Chain A
């Protein structure tokens, strides 16, 4: 049966198991939207801005592990997705972005609403395609989804000209796909695995440094098993939070610029770092020349470019985290007789770590009059469901969430780490809620960033997506203010939000509920009221305005040169 290109596109999405998409109509996707009108198998959510739609697809992908899909029209619709694409690219999130394009004969003519979106997004996509023939749609989409989700995941953009949407063809979806130049190496080399386990068994001060690759490959289980069998202390990056239960004694919490004292001390004193799907970001390593000076490094990563990019590596293992961890578990099993001795010999290392934990635990000064932001985060943990999903925006509140929420399950933290995109939190939560209508989805935002996609309140209310929005209101662009306080003599240039917003009225305007807490005694009741509401809510907490995120490794300092209280 012949059908038009627009319909073929939807059939492709269905074949890929897509059930929910986000998108915004316009001239060059009007045919696609016409096909969508009676295509019941795909649920379409209309955000109020294409950037938000892209973050929503990203949040959907992070929460589920599936490929997020977003549609935008050509020109301004397409350019509005760019921040969302770059955000997903930096954190390796699988996504397919379908942009309308002017009809093929007009491409290059500066036609109405024409932009070279492939050119614009080339540096922030894993790959991109321009469909030039209706017969190519199926194979292109098969490739797009395969590239987006395999190996190191990432966003793939498909530019879809209007005339191709109109043209007719048969629909025939390929079962398999073969791309000559793309063969991600998923299987870790057995010899390298053997060497890795041998290196671990010879080490005395090992640390597992666990990153987003562990979440992306759904490897929390084998990771936890291996760490517990070998009693290896585990620290995670911001992106790795949740892949190892922070409630476990072996957990050191997050490392890096705002990491825990014990995690950064453990890295600085370690003799063997086992990096698992982590990319030695500068927020993590601090000054490179003094990073982990005593440690050998084993680096497990599916992307060879991540290995030896920033630090020299003693044992690289290219492969999928899950594959490698499972092999390491087997290999450890083969060395059972050495295990007891190894674990016993770690006792001094474990006591060093306990001493660091006790010396400077994460903390803050409680107040009876002003709400401390960290206190709100702790209360949220206490009062929320075990499997609640948390999204954050970017800033101080993001770091307090990372430090104080205690993440125990993978895919329960959605946060923009690599790009640090303000405006991410609310729409990402929206995407997660669309995927899991019955789970508790909490979006923790600052008063600055929440305004960057606040229009999505409308989408939440319209689609009955009961996201719980938490605003930690310090009436400052707090993270920048903190830097100004510490490094610019308290010259608060353009970081004070001069105009207070009445968020309760704002919630009301969108048809949602708002609750306000101004003193510590309000915190618990506001959270409880918010959680009890059936629909979306804003919970606003007026928090200590000049609270700082600590500890902090100043930019350019070594990991063990933390500012603990300033």
Chain B
């Protein structure tokens, strides 16, 4: 099953490669990984989308926690977090297709951010499933380039990750 895990890490030298080495060395999957600084000085947050059965996910959790630079591992089981992803999509758009692209963009509440006579570039945000959805509809029209950020996630409710 797919799982989204947030990892709060010390902004130390090499921390990203420690996490990456852990996943590759132990044969864990990474579907996507994002990382950027948080509001707290010296801390970054990684969002990792991974897959595995319960036993593997438990190991992933424990192994991440074991890394010295890792402060906290948040495993978002279904529903406990809001997930978002940003995608930049360049799609071929000539003749009739131009209207079709605009319709799809409208339905998904996406934005056109660059236009040429032959193409549109679209900015779409939303749950990763929604991004999959818009790509599905645009694919027949001719995708030229797709850039996805990978998911980021935040827990629901009033509390921050550390209370």
Give A residues with C-beta under 8 Å from B.
118-119, 122-123, 126-128, 130, 132, 147, 179-182, 303-305, 308-309
Contact = CB atoms under 8 A, between A and B. Distances in A.
Contacts of B18: 122
A303 B62 CA distance: 9
B interface, by DSSP: helix, strand, loop or mixed?
helix
B159 interface: no
Nearest to A306: B62
Identify the 4 closest CB pairs spanning chains A and B, nearest first. Answer: A305-B62, A181-B71, A127-B68, A304-B62
Contacts of A181: 9-10, 67-71
B55 interface: yes
Interface residue range, chain B: 20 to 34
8 contacts: A118-B14, A123-B25, A130-B14, A147-B68, A180-B71, A181-B71, A304-B66, A305-B63
Contacts of B71: 180-181
A122 B59 CA distance: 19
Contacts of A305: 59, 62-63, 66
Contacts of B70: 181
Nearest to A303: B66
Contact of B21 (A122, A304, A308): A122
A179 B68 CA distance: 8
B17 interface: yes
A123 B21 contact: yes
Contacts of B63: 305
Nearest to A312: B55
Interface of B: 9-10, 13-14, 17-18, 21, 25, 55, 58-59, 62-63, 65-71
A43 to B, nearest CB: 30
B35 to A, nearest CB: 16
A180 B63 CA distance: 17
Contacts of A127: 68
A161 to B, nearest CB: 13
Given A123-B21, A305-B62, 8 more contacts: A122-B18, A128-B14, A147-B68, A180-B10, A181-B9, A181-B69, A303-B66, A308-B55
A191 B84 CA distance: 41
Nearest to B69: A181
A122 B17 contact: yes
A34 B9 CA distance: 38
A126 B67 CA distance: 8
Contacts of A182: 68
A512 to B, nearest CB: 42
Contacts of B55: 308
A122 B71 CA distance: 19
A128 B58 CA distance: 25
B68 to A, nearest CB: 5
Nearest to A309: B59
A304 B58 CA distance: 10
Given A180-B71, A308-B55, A119 B17 contact: yes
A71 B18 CA distance: 23
A479 B37 CA distance: 52
A416 to B, nearest CB: 20
Contacts of A180: 10, 71
A482 B59 CA distance: 36
Nearest to B15: A181
Nearest to B58: A308
B137 to A, nearest CB: 43
Nearest to B20: A122
**Which of A128, A179, A180, A309 has the most B CB atoms < 10 Å from its CB?**
A180
A417 B151 CA distance: 42
A226 to B, nearest CB: 27
Contacts of B69: 181
A123 B13 CA distance: 16
B62 to A, nearest CB: 4
A182 B55 CA distance: 23
Contacts of A303: 66
**Which of B17, B66, B69, B70 has the most A CB atoms < 10 Å from its CB?**
B66
Contacts of B21: 122-123
Contacts of B65: 304
A309 B58 CA distance: 9
Nearest to A310: B55
A68 B135 CA distance: 57
